[in-house]
Structure 1
Amino acid sequence: MTKKLFGLCLLFSFTTVLYSQKTTHQFRVRTVTAGITLNSLADTITFHAAIEFLNKARQAYIAKGYEVQTIRISTQNLYKYLNQNSYNDALPFLVRLDKIAQQNNISLSIGQILPPDKYQEGIGEWAEKLVHTTSNISFSLPISSHAIGIHFNSIKASSEIITAISKSNGGEACFRFTASANCPAGIPFFPAAFHEGINSFAIGLESANLITEAFKQDNNPASARQTLKLFLEKNLLPIQDIAENISKTLNWQYDGIDASPAPGLDASIGQAIETYSKQPFGSPSTLSTCALITDVLKIWILKNVVTQV
């Protein structure tokens, strides 16, 4: 079954600094992610402006009783702003951005480090240097796309990167890299995130508990789809309203909510699926339940970041 379960990407990172706020809701804002286009590797002005925006955006959600776990920045793909610099030349600039990110409790994605379906000798060793000299930077390579299909050269490069960084920090550096498939710009979740275009932001949620609660109310195959849709819209429309107000007030484009119901330590998507199916996760009914959830995320009235609708 090839349905795109839970949106195009169910990618998340547990390596960023979490914030604890008093919350009155059944779910969390996993991230507010700002997408920016850097003029060069040395462009810290745009970077600082994004940090200022994120702090204001986070406070807008906290003021309404929502817990915001992280704030993040994604740039355009690294290879697009290397200019005439080599990858080794870029390292000191990336270290500088990483230090600013650390000081402000920000996670940073530099996007895809090579063009689609390209291979570069020594990229694994370079990635190992990057994870050794930084702590808050994530990065990626696309191994397939709708335009090209399978990126065999990217697969080769990704395998070398994964092998190299798996030796760093007990393998934990692998949380900072992904070989992604068919992921568009604007995704707020790391490490797949990358940006295109004008300044914008997107919201990523930890919403598995909402799905569990909806299925507790109704797990009848004839009506559960509509119940889930209405329940999610009721709970998440205020998130969109706040985002639209932030967009208007701070003049940043709002890209939408990532539809992926990301789980957490106390928010299990497996539990949500079992609540509907009444069968252990992995049973034949699991895929049909995933399809039901995916269908709802495609038709709800919220603006989905992946589809930009």
Structure 2
Amino acid sequence: MKIRTITTGISLQSPKEIEKIRQAAKFNQQVQIIFEEQGYEVQTTRIATNAWEEYLATSSKTEILSEIQTLEQLCQSLDINFFNIGYANQPESIDIIPDINKSTSIIYCSSKIGDRDSGINFENAFESAKAIKRISEETENGYGNFRFCAWANCQPSIPFFPTAYHIGNTSFAIGLELGDLVMQAFTQARNIQTTEKILQLLLEVELNKIAVIAEKISEKFAIEYRGIDTSLAPSLDKENSIAFAYEILMNGKFGHQGTLAISGMLTRVLKRVSVKICGYSGLMLPVCEDVGLAARANEQTYDITNLLLYSAVCGCGLDTVPIPGDIAIDKIAALLIDMATLAIKLDKPLSARLFPIPGKKAGEMTTFNSPYLVDCKIFTLN
């Protein structure tokens, strides 16, 4: 089991709070060392802030971009490779996101398009669709959308990017990569009932070990520990692909009958582990971040409608889904609104990270040049 991320959240009143950012970076380094000394591989450490509209409240887009570029330079000088400036909740702020994305390389952000209290923000959804389209056209192969998503009903302290944002005093949360434990459970049992019991036992043992270390860190540094996001983060390792794990239990391939039931089972287990949990704590199905999911997308054993269906019982929504480059903004907005409808109706956190691929149509292959993504066929949209 790998630690995918240690994410520290800080609240800024100004982008010039250099010492607060420096302290968060130092804390992340210390926490990484502690976990590595206990035998864990820590893949990344990250910092997330409160919503950037709160500390970049200047009137000029030029000033905002300049401040964020200066912030990125500071992060790079501190060896920070993942920095999230939180979310935008105003249409005029969402409109600036493509410019932020284009002028930075390690800055992540998101947009809020609804929650349980206020419902769907249709204007924000449309502006987010415009941002997704612009980012795809203004970055190589549309890759800039890796650092942006739209979300509904997501709470603070999600450790995974780009959804992460923070509220309150400095705190930290942990995200894991649990594919090896899932594969272990699935290979030990050949039916869904037994698999659920075995996986529950495995997670109880392994996640409680992480939690004990995290609680001690919290006490030592007097920094609040928000919990573990138990979500099944994806793997580019074929042996730990979530899609191939499914197929051990199925009489068929991922996307065939039985996929929904396994998705529901996995989410039940992830949500009832007896540790402090935070974030999504559900099943992630990011198409371009899992070798098996990409392979089955190439075979068209599932589609975007299926992914929305699985989101009803599991994970984080539509993640790293490649779509045709000439898609209309209205269609992107419709996908976002469908996702938000599920999130609000079911009172669960969901997000959408969509990749319109410029110059390419449904059925053609993506050509990402990224260590984080695997190529697959572009999805068909009706």
Amino acid at match of 1:271: F
SS in 2 for 1:223: helix
Unmatched 5+ residue regions in structure 1? 1-26
Cα distance in 2 for partners of 1:127, 1:187 equals 20
Amino acid at match of 2:187: K
Q: 1:58 aligns with which of 32, 38, 63?
A: 32
SS in 1 for 2:227: strand
> Which residue of structure 1 lines up, in the alignment, with residue 17 of structure 2?
43
Cα distance in 1 for partners of 2:277, 2:109 equals 23
Does residue 109 (structure 1) correspond to residue 79 (structure 2)? The answer is no
Write the deviation string for residues 26-46 of structure 1: whole angstroms up to 9, x where unpaired.
Answer: x21110000000121211111
Checking the alignment, whether the CA contact within 8 Å between 1:277 and 1:285 is kept in structure 2 is yes
> Which residue of structure 2 lines up, in the alignment, with residue 294 of structure 1?
267
Write the deviation string for residues 173-211 of structure 1: whole angstroms up to 9, x where unpaired.
Answer: 110100112211110000000001111111111112211
Alpha carbons of structure 1 residues 110 and 204: separation in structure 2 relative to 1, 3 Å = same
> Which residue of structure 2 lines up, in the alignment, with residue 77 of structure 1?
51
1:190-201 equivalence runs, <5 A? 190-201=161-172
Alpha carbons of structure 1 residues 304 and 219: separation in structure 2 relative to 1, 3 Å = farther
Amino acid at match of 1:302: V
Cα distance in 1 for partners of 2:107, 2:2 equals 23
> Which residue of structure 2 lines up, in the alignment, with residue 269 of structure 1?
242
Identity %: 36
Report deviation, 1:278: 4.3
SS in 1 for 2:274: coil
Unmatched 5+ residue regions in structure 2? 282-382
Report deviation, 1:105: 3.6
Checking the alignment, whether the CA contact within 8 Å between 2:84 and 2:109 is kept in structure 1 is yes
Higher relative contact order (CA 8 A, sep 6+): 1
Report deviation, 1:241: 1.4
TM, length-normalised to structure 1 = 0.85
CA RMSD of aligned residues (A): 1.8
Checking the alignment, whether the CA contact within 8 Å between 2:229 and 2:280 is kept in structure 1 is no
> Which residue of structure 2 lines up, in the alignment, with residue 188 of structure 1?
159
Q: 2:194 aligns with which of 223, 239, 256?
A: 223
Write the deviation string for residues 97-117 of structure 1: whole angstroms up to 9, x where unpaired.
Answer: 21222231430111112x2xx
Checking the alignment, whether the CA contact within 8 Å between 2:172 and 2:225 is kept in structure 1 is yes
| Equivalent residues, number | 277
Amino acid at match of 1:111: G
> Which residue of structure 2 lines up, in the alignment, with residue 174 of structure 1?
145
Report deviation, 1:300: 1.2
Cα distance in 1 for partners of 2:264, 2:94 equals 38
Amino acid at match of 1:106: N
Checking the alignment, whether the CA contact within 8 Å between 2:10 and 2:171 is kept in structure 1 is yes
Amino acid at match of 1:162: I
TM, length-normalised to structure 2 = 0.69
